[in-house]
Each structure stands twice: as structure tokens, then as C-alpha cells.
Amino acid sequence: MSQFKILVVEDEIKLLEVIRDYLVKESYDVTIASNGVDALRAIEKSLPDMLITDLMLPDISGEEIVSVVRKSSSIPIIMLTAKTMTEDRINGLTIGADDYVTKPFSLRELMLRVNNLIGRVYGNQKTQRIIFEAYQLVIDVDAHTVHIANQEIVLTKFEFDILVVLAQNPNRTFSREQLIESTAGYDYFGFDRTIDTHIKNLRKKIEPDDKKPTIIKTVYGVGYKFYYPARG
């Protein structure tokens, strides 16, 4: 999931998978490529909101990929490389990269750079459109609409508010009290078990097919969470 799509290009498969998993845990929608040709195909198919690419790839260099992207887009780009010379860093930034991370690096540092760039470039857009491709679910916070497989799903205000809170925090468990506070506010006088009814109705609307995976999971004795599995 993520309302922000990030393409990660890296020929070291283990590193590529670790970066992907870390970004997914941070609720980004991640596509991966292990070479330049696949990266350009992914970009042509669907331009990501951010590109993270290694400089040294087995076919097309990271610089070439950045040059292609920069001909038509100003999306934020982070370069990964083992090169540490100042000239290499300057060259990477000159051709259009926004940031430059040298190997080895910590995933925490990379994540800080990703979040900072996303914040600077997109501002508060992060919370306005929430997309979960695996569920074909699109939530438009501003328009107050929900679509599944391009079909609009009509929700009550309470149902919509609950869905937004859960979807903005995938895999985080909320108690009934927390959901009430996040949607209706502290002054709500309804019985907290009414949340169960709203969740039940919400599930019927966004999970109409029993064969589909459960989107909103019950965490027994605690509350509910929006379940979104990491990509395999």
C-alpha cells in the first residue's frame, strides 16, 4: 500500500528485497527492478512518485535511467552507489538526482531521506489519496469517495471516517475507544460497541466477495486493524 508509489532499482537482490520490505512496512507502494531495462519498462507502464536507483547496473546505468526520467518528469530521485568520490556525487546531482546515498548505508537513514523528499515535494498530499493495489481500493479523502475495482462504494460518514483512520495506518491495531476518538471525537456519547456494527457494515461493503482476503481484521480482545500484506 501506499498512496505513494516508489520504484527501487538495484541489482543486488538481497539488498533490493530488504529495501522493498522496509518501505512496505512504512506503507509505501513499492515496485522493484534488478536491471535498467526492467526499470524503464516499469516507468513507461506507470510513472512512480519516487525513484530509488543504483548507479551501477548490469545493463543500463543509473545515470541513463535518471536522464530518461528527467526528460519528462520532476519526480524525486535518490541514487544509491558504492562510489564515494566527490566527482561522482556531483555528477549524480548534476544529471537530476535529488539525493545521493553511498553504500553501505542504514535503512533508517534511507527512510529518513525518502520521507524528507516526499514531504518536500508532495507536502500534505500523502493523506489525500490512499491506494491499495492488491485490493483495487482507492480512497479519496478530499472527495469523500471510495472505489473498489473502479466501482464506487457508498459509505456513511462514520463508516468512511473509520476506513480512513484504519487505511492511513495499515497493520496498526486500534481499540474501539481509539476509533471513536479518531472519528467522532472525545464528546461522542455512543456505546463503544456501536463500532462493531459500523465495522460489520463496512466489511459488507468493501469485502462483498467471501473469496477476497479479509481487509479489516479483528484483533480479539483489542480491536481492529486494516490488514495489508507485504509483497512477496
**CB 64, CB 36: distance < 8 Å:** yes
Q: What is the pLDDT of residues 82-135, one digit of tens each?
A: 766 666 666 656 677 888 888 888 888 898 888 888 877 776 555 467 888 778
* pLDDT for the residue 108: 85
Number of H helices, E strands in the chain: 8, 12
5-127: CATH class: alpha beta
CATH 3.40.50.150 fits 130-226, yes or no: no
Model confidence, pTM:
0.56
Residue 75 has pLDDT above 80, yes or no: yes
Residue 62 has pLDDT above 90, yes or no: no
In the chain, % of residues over pLDDT 70: 82
Give the SS3 label for residue 30.
strand
* pLDDT for the residue 169: 83
Q: Which helix (H) or strand (E) holds 176?
A: helix 176-183
Q: Quick check: bond before 104 cis, omega within 30?
A: yes
Q: What is the pLDDT of residues 140-178, one digit of tens each?
A: 887 788 999 888 999 988 899 899 889 888 888 988 888
Domain boundaries, the chain: 5-127, 130-226
Query: Which residues, 6+ apart, have CB-to-CB distance to 79 below 8 Å?
Result: 53, 54, 55, 62, 66, 92, 97, 99, 100, 101
Residue 45 has pLDDT above 70, yes or no: yes
Q: What is the 3-state secondary structure of 47-79?
A: CCCEEEEECCCCCCCHHHHHHHHHCCCCCCEEE
CA distance 171 to 215: 10
* pLDDT for the residue 83: 66
* pLDDT for the residue 37: 94
Residue 224 has pLDDT above 90, yes or no: yes
**CB 110, CB 8: distance < 8 Å:** no
Q: In terms of DSSP bridges, do strands 216-219 and 5-9 run parallel, antiparallel, or are they unpaired?
A: unpaired
Give the pLDDT mean for 26-53.
90
Give the pLDDT mean for 219-227.
91
Q: What is the pLDDT of residues 177-198, one digit of tens each?
A: 888 877 765 444 444 567 888 8
In this structure, which amino acid lies at residue 26? E
* pLDDT for the residue 16: 95
